[in-house]
Chain A
Amino acid sequence: DQQVKQNSPSLSVQEGRISILNCDYTNSMFDYFLWYKKYPAEGPTFLISISSIKDKNEDGRFTVFLNKSAKHLSLHIVPSQPGDSAVYFCAASANTGKLIFGQGTTLQVKP
């Protein structure tokens, strides 16, 4: 059973506009959530995280929103740039230390 779900396999956005990537989870024990970015032939790299005690975390162009009651989080990228084109993975962690990932969303930012 997939505990972390990214239901949109792909997203295409115009340069300069907002990209919104969504993620849902089922395990209420998760208390940290992370977003990773992955380019082809490279390992994922950390982008931004949020603790379950917060509902928003911002880092430059990237903002993550957490809605605990809906078990939903989203990553907003504003403004989107062509270099943001990559696969984005949502991940969640409980106090066991395990890190569980979603299926990924491929973002394409068109010039």
Chain B
Amino acid sequence: DVKVTQSSRYLVKRTGEKVFLECVQDMDHENMFWYRQDPGLGLRLIYFSYDVKMKEKGDIPEGYSVSREKKERFSLILESASTNQTSMYLCASSPRGQVGVTEAFFGQGTRLTVV
């Protein structure tokens, strides 16, 4: 079974803090994704990585950065957390190749609250 594990289910952070969200997958997938889910807006892509140290901006990268030093781990970094970054964050992974031919697998999500 494919497993995508996000380090925390719930996080509360203060405005201005640097926040790290960690994601680990155990299926040797090349592609990894970070999304945020907000009511009425669906899942919006923040960043996409297609290989170690390779990344591509998604639709809403502002205020975020990512790190992929090892194939199995993809970290999302909020450089200076703000209240509008309060959201559900979802990590996903998929094998190399066309997404759709093979599916993307999701973690359980991290509910981040910035106060």
Contacts and interface: CB of A to CB of B under 8 A. Distances in A.
Contacts of B108: 41-43
A85 interface: no
A49 interface: yes
Nearest to B100: A32
Interface string A70-106: 0000000000000000000101010111111111100
Given A89-B42, A98-B58, A33 B109 contact: no
Given A98-B45, A98-B56, A103-B41, A93 B107 contact: no
Contacts of A43: 4, 90, 92, 106-109
B33 to A, nearest CB: 6
A32 B101 contact: yes
B interface SS class:
strand
A93 B99 contact: yes
Nearest to A104: B42
A101 B98 contact: no
Interface string B30-59: 010101000011111100101000001011
B103 A97 contact: no
Interface of B: 4, 31, 33, 35, 40-45, 48, 50, 56, 58-59, 90, 92, 94, 96-101, 103-109
Interface of A: 6, 9, 31-34, 36, 41-46, 49-51, 89, 91, 93, 95-104
Given A34-B99, A42-B108, 14 more contacts: A6-B42, A9-B40, A32-B101, A41-B108, A43-B106, A44-B90, A46-B105, A49-B101, A93-B99, A97-B94, A98-B45, A98-B56, A99-B104, A103-B41
